[in-house]
Structure 1
């Protein structure tokens, strides 16, 4: 297989990491709640409350963020004008620390779609590329070519094909492998569950056997696929031995083994590329930025992030916005619904206290709108759950 480089505009990649992170991924800061195979949300352990043992924000003692998922931009958001993948969010919205800004798309009723956006490379896609101007050739055997508004697509009829718009290049080899590249990001999917992601600041390696690595933004994560792994962020160093024990800055503690890194799925088919106009912007607070595990009170160290968001909303004179809370699938439905509503209200209150005059609507959706799988092949997927625990602010396109 020939490999090609794949790149995703930072304004389009939503965490990460994002983290991407996901191929979020782009990868974003990777604070999140700890993994758990329990069907109920656990109470904080006595060890976690020990003031002498450092922890990663939002995590129990000895726990740390998972290796993030790979993520592609929202393939539904192809601009029907000069170039696909060039939909931009307002520059002020795209430069808020701890917040990911991405174009949003809406359903036929005008409601923003949450949970059906960016492709996380753990499934497939469907649809067809169309455009108002251009040429299309259909050879009658399932293959064809089209050039629409400077975008060229080749479909070879066997599941493989190419896409190019002068900035973004996509190669789909039809065997589950493929490449994506643009000016900043490279994504390689090898079709055997493994792959690589790089955007100049973040590097993710998924070896397809339950192990993987993450480096970026001063954080290093190693998951060895057997429950053990290492974490370092310059302030805290954790060694999890996978046997119920760990060392935090050299001190022995009890800690749950790490969940394995899920295998990558197939590269999304070229047919998933379908033009759709953006209906606004979605701001996503990276998990661990605002709240401690299982809490709805905004942490004191989140003040800078909220200050920035409130300031930008005022400077852009945003009239209306919808703040929505979302959780992962751990715990019962009623509890998660209550937690998501409480977190959304806390964000509204925090922004209003900081002088934002935007008319906010607070909503909670519990675990009903995941953006990634909470489980993959029946196994817990901490990186997916990390992405699902989020607070979003939807700003209509009137901005």
Structure 2
């Protein structure tokens, strides 16, 4: 985590020994990276960090030891983030925060003073970022080669944000205020699917299904797994929280070069194929689980942290597709949990009972981990191009969303 000069002075005053062990100087090259010009040091080398992955200034119950006296600027920003757009500043919340996951505390509309102070701190740490972000909006695209007309985008997103807002507002601590029938079976996944379908329908037919033309020997199910498996490894299974910019692309390209390859999830000495895992039944999401997922997607859409300047300069179509992939990963992980539990409990019925005990907690932890990794990744251009090739099959996201429901 980057630190300012003032951060370092305060930490050394509170705990000089731990500061000495945990703080390193950023190199000139590191400071030259986007967003690091205001920082001189890094908090990442403490003994506790290397042992557990946690900050060296956390207590055993994961509370900040320096919260009142020396909390670093980056920690004071958390869990808020800001995106400057032509129509104003959007604020988002990190689902790496337990408070955000639990939807606790005041509504953002009741935190105007705090948000203003936090935004001022954001501008202090990243003085050049607002201008750079606003300039990027003029280069943001619907698909590669088609630049967004911002007013058209605003009209496009309004309907889908309204649908998500209805879903979020109709949940109240375990109960739906409206019946599922009144909500017409709507969900964050169906909102994304409809957004995607609306954009895809406007594309000329000759742009669609490029992978099917390039790899006619591969059925769509195999292409789906060639994409979802690397994403699952990167965002769920890998022990390293950093998602390399080209990691997913390299894996997908490797799979495509061997069209006969079958992919498996390994559980101890057993393995399960991708189609077998997709066929595992885990039941629909509970109201609380659906609310958590609805809020996750709503925040990404509202704050525009899924495409353009908000995420790796992905085109709008690809950004929606990418968000749908993340929802599918949660479902895949729950299916894999059930299969793993069946090895322990001897049958699927007992495994289902064991999984149901705290599935909401598992969904929360999956979204926490996915969001942590999202904040650190910046995809290379070839990754965005590869994702668009997969996205240009109009039926693929529908299959992923069906998997995620």
The reply to whether TM is greater than 0.5 is no
Larger radius of gyration: 2
The structure with the largest strand share of the pair is 1
The structure with the largest helix share of the pair is 2
TM range (shorter): under 0.3
Give the TM-score normalised by the residue count of structure 2.
Answer: 0.23
